[in-house]
């Protein structure tokens, strides 16, 4: 029997990384001590990330060390900032966490139904692996596919090349329309969109019918344009609407085998 893989995005899907609350504030404080500028340094960091996304440099958009080197040059300062070491320092309990209380149990529940699990992330390995290990996710995911290890970033389908050699990828789960849903739809596999603040009207609808609900389509379109706010990229239902919509991994674990029969 061919191996059947289900792939998962990491950040905002399974776990919370330390960048927003811990790494970025420390980076900004370090740069402010060296730079003579009135500019908002956090804004400069995010603007460069978004510009790379706009230019479809999806791989380079998550190279935070390179972004910091470029910013330091622009601010005319010398710095030995190492983002990887900062991520390691902040990969501690309470600073990084799983997004659901029973996350590990429910991921294992999916595995017990006969599927193998892999993480597929645009984050670089050096930033993601310390968090995975701290949270115990390194023992749940049999493969961790990062954009820098593959040379491609979502939604480029080649990011899954390694897994496609090892078996069949049958579903991808994630929280972004532009990265996750589009990737799965391009491959023709089950696209599972997770959103933990779904409208009540959508939650009342069966999981496999939510994607057609008008309230969800509006939510989906709004999210698409927010994700692509610097790009003139149209919202196309065949690329942007997922097959399944869930509010939690727990909800997915209860019925995933039914939808993949």
Write down the residue that tokens 């790009």 correspond to: 231
DSSP 12: T
Residue 214's SS3 state is helix
* CB distance 123 to 62 below 8 Å: yes
Residues 32-81: tens digit of each pLDDT: 888 877 789 999 999 999 999 889 899 999 999 999 999 998 888 888 88
User: One digit per residue, pLDDT tens: the chain, 261 residues?
Assistant: 689 999 999 999 999 999 999 999 999 998 988 887 778 999 999 999 999 988 989 999 999 999 999 999 888 888 888 999 999 999 999 899 999 999 999 999 999 999 999 999 999 999 999 999 999 999 999 999 999 999 999 999 999 998 988 899 999 999 999 999 999 999 999 999 999 999 999 999 999 999 999 999 999 999 999 998 878 888 998 899 999 999 999 999 998 988 887
DSSP 96: B
pTM of the entire predicted model = 0.95
């Amino acid at each position: 029997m061919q191996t059947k893989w289900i792939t998962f995005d990491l950040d905002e899907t399974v776990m919370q990384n330390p960048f927003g609350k811990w790494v970025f504030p420390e980076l900004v404080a370090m740069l402010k001590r060296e730079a003579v500028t009135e500019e908002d340094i956090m804004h400069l960091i995010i603007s460069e990330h978004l510009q790379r996304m706009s230019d479809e440099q999806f791989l380079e958009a998550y190279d935070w060390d390179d972004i910091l080197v470029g910013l330091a040059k622009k601010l005319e300062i010398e710095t030995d900032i190492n983002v990887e070491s900062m991520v390691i320092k902040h990969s501690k309990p309470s600073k990084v966490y799983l997004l659901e209380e029973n996350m590990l149990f429910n991921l294992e529940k999916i595995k017990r139904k006969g599927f193998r699990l892999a993480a597929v992330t645009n984050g670089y390995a050096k930033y993601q692996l310390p968090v995975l290990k701290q949270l115990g996710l390194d023992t749940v995911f049999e493969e961790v596919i990062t954009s820098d290890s593959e040379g491609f970033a979502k939604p480029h389908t080649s990011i899954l090349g390694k897994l496609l050699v090892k078996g069949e990828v049958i579903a991808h789960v994630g929280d972004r329309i532009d990265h996750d849903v589009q990737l799965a739809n391009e491959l023709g596999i089950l696209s599972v969109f997770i959103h933990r603040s779904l409208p009540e009207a959508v939650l009342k609808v069966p999981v496999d019918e939510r994607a057609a609900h008008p309230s969800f389509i509006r939510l989906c379109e709004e999210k698409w344009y927010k994700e692509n706010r610097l790009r003139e990229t149209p919202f196309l239902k065949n690329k942007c609407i997922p097959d399944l919509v869930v509010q939690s991994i727990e909800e997915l674990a209860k019925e995933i085998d039914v939808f993949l029969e």
